[in-house]
Amino acid sequence: MSDAPVYEIDPTGFWADPYPDLKRMRAEAPIAYVPQLGATLITRRDDIFREEKRVEVFSSDQPEGLMTVLMGQNMMRKDGADHAAERKAVFPTVSPKTVRDVWTAQFRARTGDVLERIAPKGACDLVKDFALPVAGEALKAISGLSNMSYQEMDRVSQGMIDGCANYAGDAGVEAHCHDCTASIDAHIDARMPALRAAPDHSLLSVQMQAGLPERQIRANVKLAISGGQNEPRDAIAGTAWALLTHPDQLEMVRAGEATWLQAFEEYARWMSPIGMSPRRVAQRDVVNGVTFAPDDRVFLMFGSGNRDEAVFARPDAFDLTQDVSASLAFGAGPHFCAGAWASRALIGEVALPMLFERLGGLRLDPAEGTRFGGWAFRGPLAMPVAWAI
């Protein structure tokens, strides 16, 4: 392991709220080895931004990593030419033009369906009843797995995320993850014949059209599901919660002084739905006086970098006037999130404005009923709301 200073955490407390520990690490040990995680954490924003680009040292290629073992070696776990080739192959699905011309209209239609279903009820859990199906229906379209229910999309996504964060080696979590990946493979098998006959812009289809090997197609679809369901779900509900608990900020949006997209991007900085990205040390190197050895496990702590006091004026506040241009919410460098344009359209252009327009008088009910959890992936666990009928 690296010779970084050791920093101990309480895993339960870190899962409930990682930000106090991350703040202390940035101040006292910005590169620290955390034995409870078996990894060295890099916590300052500029260090993360710089080192993420040095793939010759901090490699995404992790043959023994949980994601590779459980889901196959997707493009996120590749560097250099191999990563670039697969990224190019999937670009027709997630390009700004495709998002604008193909997906956004579908996002609006499906979000409208969800709102019409819940509006007469006057109350719901915004995570389970709105954000989850909105994200799931969007991902069904983009992935090409239109034969999968949004409930199953959420189940398999959560199962893979839990598997990839299973650093304690829980056998039950691993078995559940395998069940989820098997479900995805079965749905891919069922969709391939139709997409051969009638290609479209979906991820499954464009990879087939590009001639990628089937194992890569499957691995990249699983990657899209693991990153394209839970994070938008959590960001939709989380941004709504942030606005409802900061009525002055919500009024700024309603008055046209800020946009729904600004609200989403500030929330993604402040609460970081993707809080960490793992790397494997490929060769010996020294960073800020810390020596890394080959095969060390390193966590780039996006959630910490996004609250770095040296970069952001009000790092612990949700503030739409804040400059978020240095945010790491979508990563940086060659592994910048390929789905960023789709996420911005779904959340900032569709889900948030339609939610607040359709459900007049939307409020938290009870006011303190929202619970958050997670550090590698973070979001609201439940969010009871009510509105005027």
Cα separation of 242 and 258, whole Å?
14
378: amino acid identity, one letter? R
Question: Could you give the 3-state DSSP secondary structure of residue 112?
Answer: helix
Query: What is the block-wise mean pLDDT of the chain (389 residues), using blocks of 10 residues?
Result: 95 96 98 96 98 93 78 78 85 96 98 98 97 97 97 94 84 94 97 98 97 95 91 97 98 98 98 93 97 96 98 97 94 79 97 98 94 94 96
Domain boundaries, the chain: 11-359
Tell me if 180 sits within 8 A of 160, measured CB to CB.
yes
Rounded to an integer, what is the distance from CA 350 to the centroid of its chain? 18
**pLDDT in the model for residue 90:** 92
- Closest by CA to 142, choosing from 219, 224, 218, is 224
**pLDDT in the model for residue 165:** 78
Q: Return the CATH fold of 11-359.
A: Cytochrome p450 (1.10.630)
Alpha-carbon dihedral angle through residues 221, 222, 228, 231, given to the nearest 10 degrees = -170
In this structure, how many other beta carbons lie within 10 angstroms of the beta carbon of residue 13?
Answer: 11
Tokens of 241: 């919660």
- Closest by CA to 68, choosing from 154, 175, 181, is 181
**pLDDT in the model for residue 210:** 95
Tokens of 244: 């409802």
Instruction: Provide the β-strand partners of residue 292.
Output: 285
Cα separation of 198 and 205, whole Å?
9
Residue in this structure with the two tokens 């101040």, named with its chain if needed: 27
**pLDDT in the model for residue 339:** 86
Cα separation of 41 and 18, whole Å?
13
**pLDDT in the model for residue 3:** 96
- Reading across the β-sheet that carries 31-34, which strands appear in turn? 31-34, 39-42, 297-300, 277-281, 58-59
- The CA distances from residue 245 to 47, 81, 238, in Å, are 32, 45, 10
Cα separation of 305 and 7, whole Å?
17
Cα separation of 228 and 216, whole Å?
17
Chain length of the chain: 389
| DSSP result, 271-308 | H-SB--EEEEE-S-EEETTEEE-TT-EEEE-HHHHTT-
Tell me if 193 sits within 8 A of 179, measured CB to CB.
no
